[in-house]
Amino acid sequence: MTRYRGNADAVRSLVRETEVHRDVYIDDEVFALEMEHLFANTWIYVGHDSQVAKPGDYFGTTIGAQPVLMVRHTDNSVKVLHNRCPHKGTRITTDTCGNTGKFFRCPYHAWTFRTDGSLFFIPLRKGYENTGLETSHASEGISPVRHVRNYRGFVFAKLNDTGPDFEEFFGESLSSIDNMVDRSPTGRLEVAGGVLRYMHNCNWKMLVENQTDTTHPMVAHESSAGTAIEVWKKAPPGAKKPMAVEIYAPFMAPYEFFENMGIRVWPNGHGHTGVHHSIHSDYSAVPGYFESMAAAYGEERAKAILDENRHNTIYFPNLMVKGPIQLLRLFKPLAADKTLVESWTFRLVDAPDMLLERTLMYNRLINAPTSVVGHDDLEMYERAQEGLRVDANQWVNVQRLYDPSERRDATAVTNGTTEWQMRNQFRAWSKFMTLSM
Amino acid sequence: MEAPTDQQLIDFVIHEARLIDQHRLDEWLDLFTDDGIYWMPLEWGQTDPKLTTSLMYEDKLLLTIRIERLKGKRTYSQKPKSRCHHVLQTPQIDKRDEANNEFVTWTAMHYIETRYDDQQLYAAWATHTLAVVDGKLRIKLKRVDLVNCDAAFGNIQLFM
């Protein structure tokens, strides 16, 4: 049964001021429309340009449901190509990442392409003489994604011509990426440490909402962070608090801590927690780091960069960035009830290794499939995915600290336990879902 | 204990898996030396545990937190509890260094973890670095290399 396809009003009716219909999480048709519209009309994170440092380096990933590859072209620019041979559709790259030299060569019939996707060579070419190949789709080579932007190393792409340009779409939210990059004394990041891949049997939006859900940590993570605090209490007096306890303990901070940290919302569904402080504010200083930052930026500027302790920044629709610990999580939708979460980490070039060590410890304690904090969260998402089958109430509530005068697509700083950012995401969802319908 | 015999090393590794399967996790934790480590690499052939991410790289404090958490009243991801099952090949003795009190075994194994109707099978190799401490064999390092260490996994909640 088709309820939503071709019916923008039906899609819009799923999002009300303070509640959203369960079909946004469980309906297969809504999911298919998300892939066709939402993930095509918005700027989706592809990868970091340090993953393709040299000409010919490539990295295969997806935008929504579609395979793409990011490649460093011979002119040193970063291209994003639709990852299929124009001939029979074969995925061009064999490994997830590697170096292809000056050309991609399809492993099926040896059609060969330059690293911008243009067709270079077809074996037995005379078989296409006088067939009109030059007017075919195939003659275009591996189609490039037309809208690509490399912002300070972070590569985003938009599949459709519709939708806002990059600056208009992200606006001031780019300040969170800026802060992460500025934390390197040389202003450069490199992907480092390996990616954690965690399969979730739930809708991708549950994970995105959780990133700015500040009334769940002290409840859902009592089992992990609360236990960590209890276990540490038995340590001998005067023992130095280990990095792991510094990472776990703030999850148990009281409601007031999260209320006061603040949430900032931006237009187009972006926003962040931790305006004034965050769970990352009180980590121990790493010897030598501030000195190298002060040498690079001057003391005042270095202090301003490091005093910014944003918690989670949502880049709508499916990216979360943690500037203070150089980590991002990409929520890749696979089905209405299946999401692959990739957690990527970065080295601050020319900063002490201890920072990367802490970032990686955070990643494995919080974001790994073996992480107890991850277990706490996934249990809640899976229970919700199941509970939403209930017909008696088909609505999910996002009402906390709602004010009827709340402006759409506004920039505002507000109480850190608001669900405004969730409402902000759903208003953007409705807008970009229906933009091309 | 003098230097352990090969058979004592083999028996130790088999007993260690049994303690996990029987949820005797406090006894299991006691098998580790005070500075003992449980390591599950993320990368194939990983050599660096700190500047490369791991699935787990945990000292006794972190292992204690895990074990205490499994007992918690509000540990919802363990309601109902997971169960697990090891099948080990006979451990092979890779190293006997009596002078330095270091003994290394290598054990191919299948590990199953279940919860609700879900049952997951993992294939791995366990490398135990053991030492005799106060007359008893103890674990300095248990390293678990999954054959698909870099795959996307759902929850892995117990110990391999």
pLDDT tens digits along A132-172:
999 999 999 999 999 999 999 999 999 999 999 999 999 99
What is d(CA A232, CA A225) in angstroms, rounded to the nearest whole number?
A: 11
Q: Best mutation site among B26, B35, B42 for testing chain A: the one with the most A CBs within 10 Å?
A: B42
**Which of A194, A224, A374 is facing B53, going by the closest CB pair?**
A194
For the stretch A211-260, pLDDT in tens is 999 999 999 999 999 999 999 999 999 999 999 999 999 999 999 999 99
User: Given a cut of 90, is residue A49 above it in pLDDT?
Assistant: yes
Cβ of residue B80 closer than 8 Å to a chain A Cβ: no
Say whether residue A372 is in contact with chain B using an 8 A CB cutoff: yes
Is pLDDT at A182 greater than 90 in this prediction?
A: yes
* pLDDT reported for residue B32: 98
Which residues, at least 6 apart from B53, have a Cβ–Cβ distance to it below 8 Å? Answer: A193, A194, A195, A196, A345, A360, A363, A364, A368, B42
SS (H, E, C) chain A: CCCCCCCHHHHHCCECCCEEECHHHHCHHHHHHHHHHHHHHCCEEEEEHHHHCCCCEEEEEEECCEEEEEEECCCCCEEEEECCCCCCCCCCCCCCEEECCCEEECCCCCCEEECCCCEEECCCHHHHCCCCHHHCCHHHCCCECCEEEEECCEEEEECCCCCCCHHHHHHHHHHHHHHHHHCCCCCCEEECCCCEEEEECCCHHHHHHHCCCCCCHHHHCHHHHHHHHHHHHCCCCCCCCCHHHHHHHHHHCCHHHHHHHCEEECHHHCEEECCCCCCCCCCCCCCCHHHHHHHHHCHHHHHHHHHCCCCCEEECCCEEEEHHHCEEEEEEEEECCEEEEEEEEEEECCCCHHHHHHHHHHHHHHHCCCCHHHHHHHHHHHHHHHHCCCCCCCEEECCCCCCCCCCCCCCEEECCCCCHHHHHHHHHHHHHHHCCC
Contact across the interface for A227 and B72, Cβ inside 8 Å: yes
Q: Which residues contact A5 (CB under 8 A, 6 or more apart)?
A: A29, A32, A33
Q: What would you report as the CA-atom Rg of chain A, rounded to the nearest whole angstrom?
A: 23
Question: Are A196 and B57 within 8 A, CB to CB?
Answer: no
Tens of pLDDT, residues A256-292: 999 999 999 999 999 999 999 999 988 999 999 999 9
ipTM: 0.97
Q: Is the dihedral of CA B50, A379, B78, B156 positive or negative?
A: negative
Supply φ then ψ for residue A425, to 5 degrees: -65, -40
Q: Verify whether the Cβ–Cβ distance B61 to A242 is below 8 Å.
A: yes
Per-residue pLDDT tens for B144-155? Answer: 999 999 999 999
Report chain B residues whose CB lies below 8 A from the CB of A357. Answer: 50-51
Q: Which of A193, A199, A232 sits opposite B53 (nearest CB)?
A: A193
- A364-392 pLDDT per residue, tens: 999 999 999 999 999 999 999 999 999 99
Average pLDDT over residues A42-71: 98
Contact residues, chain A, for B52 at CB < 8 Å: 193-194, 360
**Which has the higher per-residue pLDDT, A7 or A282?**
A7
CB A211 within 8 A of CB A320: yes
CA distance B27 to chain A (A): 17
**Cβ–Cβ gap A369/B56 under 8 Å:** no
Question: Average per-residue pLDDT in chain B?
Answer: 97
Question: If pLDDT is split at 50, 70 and 90, which confidence band does B2 have?
Answer: confident
On whether any CB of chain B is under 8 Å from the CB of A232, the answer is yes
Instruction: Please state whether A169 falls in left (phi above 0), alpha (psi between -120 and 50) or beta.
Output: alpha
pLDDT given for residue A1 in this prediction: 61
Q: Do A369 and B72 touch (CB under 8 A)?
A: no
Question: Which of B50, B65, B151 is facing A231, going by the closest CB pair?
Answer: B65
The beta-carbon neighbor of B57 closest among A220, A364, A380 is: A364
Chain B interface includes A228 (CB < 8 A): yes
* Beta-carbon contacts of residue B115 (< 8 Å; ≥ 6 apart): B80, B81, B82, B83, B155, B157
Residue A172: how many other CB atoms lie within 10 Å: 12
Alpha-carbon distances, residue A358 vs A178, A251, B48 (angstroms): 21, 16, 14
Residue B159, both tokens: 């110990």
Contact B157, B82 (CB under 8 A): yes
Share of chain A above pLDDT 70, in %: 100
Q: Do A227 and B61 touch (CB under 8 A)?
A: no
Q: Give the span between the Cα atoms of A155 and B159, in whole angstroms.
A: 38
Q: Is the Cβ pair B50, A222 closer than 8 Å? A: no
Q: A interface mutation test: which of B43, B46, B57, B77 has the most A CBs within 10 A?
A: B77
Model pTM greater than 0.95?
A: yes
Per-residue pLDDT averaged across A112-132, rounded?
A: 97
Closest CB to B69 among A244, A356, A372 = A372
Interface test with B, best of A251, A325, A372, A381 (most B CBs within 10 A): A372
